[in-house]
Amino acid sequence: MRVTESHVFGVLTNNLQRSRARLLDLQQQVSTGKAVRRPSDDPSAFHQILHHKVSIAAIDQRLRNISFGRTRLDFSDRVLMDVSDSLSRLQQLAVQFRSDTNGPAERVIGAAEVRQLFAQLQRSANTDLNGHPIFTGTSTHGRATGLPIAEPVSLVNGSNDTLLVEVDGVLSGTIDLTSGTESLTGSELASRLQNRINADTTLAGADKRVTVTFDADRLVIASDSHGLASQVSVVGGSSRTSLGFNGGSTTTGEVPFALTATVSPGLGNTGGAMASQGQVVDPNAVTLDDYVIRFTSTSTYDVLNVTVPVDTAASSANIGHARVIDAGVVEPQSLTLHEYRIQFTSSTQYSVLDVTAGTTVSSGNVFVSGAPIEFDGLRVIIGTGEQGGPQTGDSFSVSVAPRTVAANQTYLSGQPIVVNGISLRLTNESGTPAADDRFAIVTGVQYQGDDGLQSIEVGPGQTVPTNLPGHRIFSSDTVDLFASVKQLVRALRGNDRAGITDALGGLNGSIAHVGSLQGEIGALSNRMAVGADQLEEAKSFYSELLSRVEDIDLAKAISDLVLQQYAIEAASRTLTQVFESSLLRYLR
C-alpha cells in the first residue's frame, strides 16, 4: 500500500490535535480537581455523582432544619425558665401573705407585685422569634366566647332561632338556625352554627368564614382569618340568650394570649337590657380587678369595683363561740351586692338569708367547722372557738362594700361603656334596664392560638415538632396558670386567706407542669442533636463516595499532564521535520 506524504501529514496533524485536546482536559482536571464534569466524561459515573449530590443537598437542608428547630426550642426553653422564675416568686408571695402576720394593707401591697408578675407572664406567653410567636401553634384567631349554657339547648322556629354576627368587620344577614323545634347538644349546636354562619351569603361574598366549637360548657366562634383584623362578635338575634351570647367576651387574633373582659347579666335582672361581649380596648389600663355595673334607675347606673374584702360580723347577741375564720369573693359574676345573714337554727344547722331581698337563700344546711359556706358568689368559713361552737340563734352578717369607680352615669342604649380599658355595650332588647339590674365584668386571659405543630423534616418520612402549643403550657385542661395568678390577685386584694391557699395550689401545679414541659422541650432538642450527628455521619459517607467517583488523583493527573506536554512537543517536532522534507519545502 502506498503511503503518501499528505497521508502522513494528516495522521500527524490529527494526533497532535487529539493530544492538545487531551492536554486541555488534563489541565481542566488539575485546575478543578474533578475527573468527571459532564455526562460525556463518564455517563455511569456522572449518574452516581448526581445521586450523591442530591443526597448531600437533602442532608444539608435537614441540618439547616435542625439548626432552626433547636434555636426555636432552646429559645422556648429560656422563656419557660423565665416563666418558672416568675411562678416561683408568685409562690413565695402566696406563702408569705397567707400567713396571719400579714393584714389587709400588706396583702394589697403584695397584690401590686403579683399584677406586675401577671403582666410579665403574659409577655412571656406572647414572646415571638423573628416576628413569629413561639407558643401559638400555627396561627392566632379572634373569637367570640359565650357564657356557660346547659345542654341540651332547645331551639324553636320563630322564637329563639336567629342570630346576627359580625366577622372581621362584615355584618351577616339574619342567620336562621332551625325551621322547627330541636333539642341540640353542645357539639350539635357548634356544628349547626358553623354551617349556617358560613352559608350566609353576605359573609360568603366577603370570603369570611368561622369555626365554631363547644368548649367545656360554652360556645366559641372563631374567625378563620388570622391576626389583628381577625374578630367575631354576636350582635343580634333571638337566640343570643339561649346560646350564651347575652354577654361573654370578644378578642382579636393579635397575640396568642389576649386579655379578656367577660360580661355576665345578673341572675335576678328584671329589665330588658342585653349586654354585648366585653372587649379589652386598652390592655395597659386593665387592672385585673372585676366590676359590676348596677342600675340605680332605668336611666342611671354606677360602676363598682368588686375586687374587695367581704365584710363579716358576729351578732352581739351570739351566745356560742364560733367565729368567722375567713371570707372572700369566689364568683364575681354571681354577686348580688346584697346583705346576708348566716342564721344558726341549731348548733349543727344553719340557714342563709338574703336580708336585702327578704328571702331565704338556703336552709337546713349542716354546719361543719372550717368547711366553706358558699352562696351568691361569696364564701364564708366559720370555725368553732376554743370554748365551743355556735348555738341556736347565733348569726353572722355578710356583705360586700364595693369601691365606686363611676357614679350616677347616664345610660343610653347602644352607647359604649368604658371601664379601665374595657368596653361593652348595653342595648334595650325587650325593654329598658330595671333598677338594681346588674352586669358583671370579669377579667382574664384567653388563648387565641390553635393546636398546630410546626414540624421540621429530619429524615425520610421523619418529622420533629419545634413548638408546643401555648394552651398546653399556660391553659391546659388541668392547669390554668393565668387563672391561678388572677385568683391570687383577687384573694390578696380581698384579704381572702382561703383564696390565697387555693391560688397557691394552682401555682404549685403550674410550676410542676411547666417543669415537665421543659423536660419535653429538652428531649426534643436532644433528639435533634442526635439526628444532626447522624446526618453529619451520613454526609461524610456520601461525600467520600462522591470524592471517589468525581475527584482526580492529583499526582497522576499532573504526571499525565507533563507526559502529554512532552508528547505534544515531540509530535510538533516530527510534524516540522516532515514539513521540512516535503516537496513543497524543496520547491521553495
Angle at the Cα of 364 from the Cα atoms of 363 and 367, rounded to 5 degrees? 110
**Among the listed residues 195, 92, 73, 205, the one whose alpha carbon sits nearest the alpha carbon of residue 526:** 73
Supply the pLDDT for residue 554. Answer: 47
**Do residues 481 and 474 make contact, with C-beta atoms less than 8 angstroms apart?**
yes
Give the pLDDT score at 562: 53
Q: With contact defined as beta carbons under 8 Å apart, do 485 and 110 qualify?
A: no
Q: Which residues of the chain have pLDDT under 50?
A: 1, 23, 26-27, 29-31, 33, 35, 553-554, 557, 561
Cα dist from 448 to 97, 213, 216, 229, 422, whole Å: 33, 13, 16, 13, 18
CA 551 to chain centre: 52
User: What is the rounded distance in angstroms from the CA atom of residue 210 to the CA atom of residue 141?
Assistant: 10
Q: Specify the pLDDT at position 478.
A: 83
Residue closest to 264 by CA, chosen among 291, 289, 288: 291
Q: Give the number of other CB atoms < 10 A from CB of residue 180.
A: 9
What is the radius of gyration, based on Cα positions, of the chain? 40
C-alpha 131/C-alpha 125 separation (Å) is: 14
